[in-house]
With several copies, the nearest count.
Chain A
Amino acid sequence: MNINVLFFGSLADATGKSRLEINNVSDTETLRSKLLRDFPKLEKYKFVIAVCKHVVKANTTLHEGDTVAFLPPFAGG
């Protein structure tokens, strides 16, 4: 199962990547844990997770082809 991961703003700075593909993660908590292991710097950052453009607060099941975005605090305007 392929999941597209997007990093924005300071998180792209911290990971050195703006996107990557991840296999075999079944839900957002598993994905978060895996990314925190791969990019330990992320520990220091505040962010929310959006699945298919919707911010999710609780653990959320992922499906093939889902896009999961890691979003630092918004700063528009």
Chain B
Amino acid sequence: MTEKKKHNVFVNGAITPNFIADSIGKHSGKTNIGGHDIFLGQVRNDIIDDKTVVAIEYSAYQEMAEEKFHEIREYAFSKYNLVCMHIYHSLGVVKAGEICLFVFVSSKHRKDAFDACRDIVEQIKSMVPIWGKEIFEDESHTWKQNT
């Protein structure tokens, strides 16, 4: 058990460009950072059986998800030489074109940020209990499947 504080990962609804800008701006005091890698997941208007996805409604097993995000964080800091990292994921409805995932990794040299960011995104997709209900124009739905 570590005493490191757990960060609040879940955000209600879409993650806005202004939220991302604020997050970037907060790093200007950390002058040992040379590179940031940011991954943003955006909701696509996929067409499934002739129906267009207009939004995804995200839900999670929150208590378990928070433990998993914490493990992913600890693992990333142990494996890569990072200055800091942040993960934000939407809950609730996110419309097509809006952002649902924001992974922000900062390091002295770019290689660590690139390697870690990609690794973290893959781990989020495979390890964290989050689901997405893909909502169509006619309000019917299907459950999102990750590839």
Contact = CB atoms under 8 A, between A and B. Distances in A.
Direct A/B contact, Cβ within 8 angstroms: yes
A74 B146 contact: yes
Contacts of A9: 59, 131, 133, 143
Given A9-B59, A69-B61, A76 B67 contact: no
A8 B60 CA distance: 8
Contacts, number: 65
B145 interface: yes
A53 B67 contact: yes
Interface residues of A, number: 15
Interface in A48-77: 50, 53, 69, 71-77
Given A50-B64, A53-B64, A71 B129 contact: yes
Contacts of A6: 61
Nearest to B131: A9
15 contacts: A8-B61, A10-B131, A50-B61, A50-B129, A69-B61, A69-B129, A73-B145, A74-B125, A75-B125, A75-B145, A76-B58, A76-B101, A76-B132, A77-B41, A77-B146
Interface of A: 6, 8-10, 13, 50, 53, 69, 71-77
